[in-house]
Amino acid sequence: MNQYMNKISRLDRYVFYRVFKKTNDKNCDLIKQVSWTGDGYVYLLFCLLLWLFQAEDRLIFTYSALLAYSLELPLFITLKKTLKRARPSDFLDNFTARINPADKFSLPSGHTAAAFLMASLITNFYPVFAPLVFIWASVIGMSRILLGVHYPGDVLAGALLGLATAMTSLIFLNLA
């Protein structure tokens, strides 16, 4: 089992390097702005716009989001503190990330988890937006690799965490 995990870890680092080096000698301002949309402000803005312009679904959407995030956040924190995966800048020699990470550990990506959670909820209530919001969530995940704060495996784990907690909240509320 340990040999298998080492192979996965090596593949994860290899893919990380291949993706991250695409930003060498490039202006990363747009990538940083995309990543910023995963900080949480956009989710609050979306809920506010929903409250202002969409009377029908605003209450149940807000309940769904609050339940999903109340599940996601403790799981996210528990996983980070239990797994304690070092960020690329802490593990790799002569490496500096393009931004300062919000916390110490890498696995899972919280930005990606939150983005996939929100994309799943939006898709459940407004299916027409599914391609747009899942592309947005995926780009947030990619931005975390391009900025050097997460490995691809962290992003994949974050996406799965976001999807699972969103679906759990929707099932619990009998909306899925």
Q: Is 111 a catalytic residue?
A: yes
Question: Is there a contact between 113 and 73 (Cβ–Cβ < 8 Å)?
Answer: no
Handedness of CA 31, 34, 35, 41 (dihedral sign): positive
Q: Which of 150, 155, 164, 165 is catalytic?
A: 150
Indicate the SS3 state at residue 33: helix
Q: In this structure, what is the dihedral angle of CA atoms 31, 76, 115, 112, given to the nearest 10 degrees?
A: 40
Q: Is 3 a catalytic residue?
A: no
Q: Which of 105, 111, 115, 145 is catalytic?
A: 111
Question: Is there a contact between 168 and 71 (Cβ–Cβ < 8 Å)?
Answer: yes
CA distance linking residue 79 with residue 123, whole number of Å: 26
- Active site amino acids: 111, 150
